Amino acid sequence: MRRLLRIKAAKRQYKPPQLAEKPIDTEMGTYKQAENIEKGMEGNLNDCNYEIDRNWVAALQKSVKMLHFGSWEEKEAAAEEMKTLAEEDLTRRKTMVELGVIPPLVAMVGSEVVARQRLAVRALIELANGSFTNKALMVEAGILSKLPKNISLLEETAKQEFAQLLLSISALANSHFSLTSSNIIPFVVSILESSSSIETKESCLTTLHNLSSLLDNAGSLIATGIVDNLITLSSIKETSEKALSTLGNLVITLAGKKAIERNPMVPERLIEIMTCEEKPKCQELCAYILMILAHQSSLQRRKMAEAGIVQVLLEVALLGSPLAQKRALKILQWFKDERQMRVGPHSGPQVGRILTGSPVNQRDVDEGKIMMKKIVKQSLYKNMETITRRANGDGDSSNLKALVVSSSSKSLPY
């Protein structure tokens, strides 16, 4: 260990400044004198860096020795010093890990002494910052098996620190590294449910989103009952996007789709969120989830229609982002053709042939067309009124009614 530290400290060599010994009066001499002074300043700077490196190496050498062979009090002091040293840069973090500091720090996380546990967690957070290798080494050292069993004993700040550490480690889920989720998922869900801090909840949601990107983790996530919590958190401004993103990952699985359908707030809650124009990403995610739920499910489409989704979809199709418009138009097309189409086996409602001997009531068809035109005109009037108010203030918009009434729904793509 000492030999490795000497090699790293020797990378910077001190070069003493070489200043001119006598004054030079010529123009060229003045230039050389300035050049020598500049070199002298550079030498002083190198000297300063050398001293800093030497001090850092000495502190690291002492902390590593205490962490491996010291008493518990010395280990705690070493963990605190490790956190400070690791904050500097990635190169130093890599050097520290090469000296084997991760296993003893992971062992400290399993301690029953809360203060000792938190010191180790803080140091590991800094060591994991920006290093895939360091995160993988923590998992291999057994960090997930050292997590506290009783979340209720943790203070709010301790929950936040654990959430931050696990957020960093969860990034491994999107790599080739095998990350076992059996321990991390229940722990993160428990913190999410028990924490009152929005910042902690955001960290937990990001962790769950990372884990839900793997279909193999969907079953473990759904088994914790997280779907109901995600739907509730989707209505909170700070947590809405991450909650909906995680639901979007789960809804593509059969178990996830069924869990979302069973929630009593669906589809009303998702339709309500789609009316929020301030968060276009949330609109897109809600439209995606509703599109998956409506696919091949006449029951879900009927529930959506009863909740007033058609009016909301028309507004999104007119004023939403390009992606939200595309998804809204897709669902609207399903609703429009519901009476004349049957659900295909693979791609949602598809055009079906009218069976021989099945009479088509022309009166019903005409009434459906009139109703659709009426809904479109009402939506156009409402949205043009909103656009005018935003552009010109809360002025009179009565002149718009005649314009909207005279317009035709034939111009719409659906």
What pLDDT sits at residue 408? 39
Cα separation, 334 vs 338, whole angstroms: 6
Gap between the Cα atoms of 233 and 277, Å rounded? 18
Residue 24, pLDDT score: 36
- pLDDT averaged over consecutive 10-residue blocks of the chain (414 residues)? 49 42 40 43 42 73 90 94 88 89 95 93 94 93 92 92 96 84 92 95 96 93 96 95 97 96 96 92 96 92 93 93 94 81 48 41 63 68 67 51 42 35
Look at residue 21 in the predicted model and tell me its pLDDT.
Answer: 37
Write down the pLDDT at residue 168. 95
Give the Cα separation of 60 and 101 in Å (integer).
10
| Structure confidence at residue 189 (pLDDT) | 96
The confidence score (pLDDT) of residue 364 equals: 58
Confidence at residue 59, expressed as pLDDT on a 0 to 100 scale: 82
Is 0.75 topped by the overall pTM? no
Q: Where are the domains of the chain?
A: 266-350+363-389+399-414
pLDDT score recorded for residue 292: 96
